Amino acid sequence: MSDHKLDTLCIHGGQHHEPVTGAVMPPVFQTSTYAQEWPAKHTGYEYARTQNPTREALERCVATLEGGTDGVAFGSGLAATTSLLHTLPANARVVCGDDVYGGTFRLFTKVFEKTGMTFSFLDFSTTPLDRAIPEGTTLVWLETPTNPLLKVFDIAAVSARCKAVGALLAVDNTFATPIFQRPLALGADVVVHSTTKYLNGHSDVVGGIALTANPAVAQSLRFIQNAAGAVPGPWDAWLTLRGVKTLALRMARHQSNAHQIVAWLADHGEVARVYYPLLPSDPGFAVASRQMSGFGGMISFDLVGSLRRAEKFCASTRLFTCAESLGGVESLIELPATMTHASVPAEQRRARGLSDGLIRLSVGIEDPSDLLADLEHAMSASRA
C-alpha cells in the first residue's frame, strides 16, 4: 500500500474494510471498554484510552502519508507536543526555532521549563548549526515553514547535526502537510501535526498526531499516549480521517489560490513585504525549493501604515473571517501580535522580526477572484 502515490494514500493509506460488516468507512467506535470472554482474555481491545479502532484507522492513514511506521493520535496538537516531551528525560535540553507557534513557545517556557528541562530559541538559518545544536542536546524542535513568518529551515542539514550529537529531531509539519513536505524522508525522527489545521481541514475538530519510523520513539509515544491519556475521542478521529481523504485536493487548491494572492500582494504599493517562500526574493526560497514540493496556503505580509490600519484591514474583509487557526476550507485572516502570538512577549516578537502590523492569511479554497476582490475591498476600507 505505501508505494502508492500520496493522493491515493490520503484515501486508502492503512485502511481496510471493517471486518464484521464490510463497512467502507471505519465505524465510530463510541465505547469506553470491550467485553472479555474470560478474565484477561480479550480481542486485543481492552479499554478505549489504550485502543480504539477508529483512532487506529486515522493513525495508520497519516503514518503512511508521512512515510512512518507508526502514528500516535492525541486530543490536540499541543497534547502531541506535550506527550513527545514526556518521553524525554527530566533534564532534557531542547533547541527550538525562534519563530514557533505561540502555544508551543508557551508550553516550553511556562510548563516544561519549570520541570527542569532547558530550552533555547534561535534562528537555524543564521546560527551555524554546530553552535545552535551543541553536544548534549536531547531534542531539536523544528517548525518549518514557521508560524507566522514562513521562515524555512533546512531539515536535512539540521538532521545531520542532530545525528552527530545524538539528538532527536522533531518537525512540526502542520503548515506544509505531507503533501508538500515529508520530514521523515529528510532525516527527522518524529513529525508532529496539529490535525486541527490542514489535515482535518474543516475547522470543526481540535486534534494532534505524532508520526515516526523509529521503533523506540514509537514505543515511548505509545506508552505516554496510554499512561498520560491525552487521547482524541472517536468522533474527532473519524472526522479527521474523513478530512484527510481530500487533503491532496484541498492542498492543491489552497496553494494555487495562495499563488494568485501572493502575486497581487507582491505588486501592491501599499504592501511593504510579503512572506511566502515561493518568492525568489524570500530568504527561504532556495531551501524550500529543495525540500518542499509546494509552498502551501499560508501567507503573511506587512501593510504600509499604522497598526490601526492593519487592524482595520482584518476587520474589513467579508470572505476572510478574522479568526485564529488556519488550514480550513474557508479563508481566515488574523493579526499575530494581538491574536495567535500574544503569548510571546512584545520584545521577543520584535527581536524575531514579527512586527505588530503583520497580517497572516490562511487562504481557503473559495474562488480566487472572490478572495482577491475581498482583499481589494479591505485595502481601500482600511485606508479611509
Residues with catalytic annotation? 49, 101, 172, 197
Q: Is 271 in a helix, a strand, or coil?
A: strand
Which lies closer to ligand PLP via its Cβ, residue 82 or residue 316? 82
Nearest-angstrom CA–CA distance, 23 and 290: 41
Which of 66, 143, 311, 334 forms a contact with ligand PLP (CB under 6 A)? 143
Q: Are 165 and 133 contacting, i.e. CB atoms less than 8 angstroms apart? A: yes
Half-sphere exposure of 133 (CA within 13 A, CB side): 23
Tell me the closest approach of the beta carbon of residue 73 to ligand PLP, in angstroms: 12
Q: Tell me the β-bridge partners of 143.
A: 172
Order of all β-strands in the sheet with 358-362: 271-275, 298-303, 358-362, 332-334, 321-322
Closer to ligand PLP by CB, 327 or 368: give it: 327
> Looking at beta carbons only, is 7 or 330 nearer to ligand PLP?
330
Nearest CA among 150, 138, 66, 170 for reference residue 100:
150
Residue of 68, 77, 232, 234 interacting with ligand PLP (CB under 6 A) = 77
Q: How far apart are the first and last CA of the chain?
A: 57
Q: Give the total of residues touching ligand PLP (CB under 6 A).
A: 16
Closer CB to ligand PLP, residue 78 or residue 221?
A: 78
64: contact with ligand PLP by CB under 6 A: no
Grid coordinates in use for 135?
553536544
Minimal distance, residue 78 CB to ligand PLP, in Å: 4
Residue with cell 501567507: 299
User: Which of these ranges, 134-142, 193-201, 284-292, 328-336, lies near ligand PLP under the rule CB under 6 A?
Assistant: 193-201
Write down how long the chain is: 384
Grid cell digits, residue 118: 532547558
Residue 193 Cβ vs ligand PLP, minimum distance, rounded to whole Å = 8
In the complex, least distance from residue 336 CB atom to ligand PLP, rounded to whole angstroms: 11
- Select from 24-32, 127-135, 180-188, 191-199 the region that touches ligand PLP (CB under 6 A): 191-199
From residue 361, alpha-carbon distances to 32, 142, 182, 308, 332 in Å are 40, 22, 23, 18, 6
State which of positions 301-360 bind ligand PLP (CB under 6 A): none
Site for ligand PLP in 146-185 (CB under 6 A): 147, 172, 174-175
Q: Which three cell numbers stand for residue 317?
A: 474583509
Of the pair 101, 313, the CB lying nearest ligand PLP is at 101
Selected from 52, 54, 76, 240, the binder of ligand PLP by CB under 6 A is: 76
Give the count of beta carbons closer than 10 Å to the beta carbon of residue 187: 17
| DSSP H or E run through 71 | strand 70-74
Q: Which is nearer to ligand PLP, 236 or 378 (CB)?
A: 236
Which span (2-10, 73-81, 90-98, 328-336) binds ligand PLP, by CB under 6 A? Answer: 73-81
Q: Which of residues 194-253 bind ligand PLP (CB under 6 A)?
A: 194, 196-197, 206, 208
Q: Which of positions 83-142 make contact with ligand PLP (CB under 6 A)?
A: 101, 103-104
Q: Which residue is nearest to ligand PLP (CB)?
A: 77
CB of 171 to ligand PLP, least distance (A): 11
Buried (b) or exposed (e) across 277-304, using 16+ Cβ within 10 A? bbbeebbbbebbeebbebbbbbbbbbbe
- Shortest CB 307 distance to ligand PLP, Å: 23
Q: Which residues contact 110 (CB under 8 A, 6 or more apart)?
A: none
Cβ closest to ligand PLP, residue 292 vs residue 379: 292
CA–CA gap between residue 220 and residue 68 (Å, rounded): 15
Note the residues at the interface with ligand PLP (CB under 6 A): 76-78, 101, 103-104, 143, 147, 172, 174-175, 194, 196-197, 206, 208
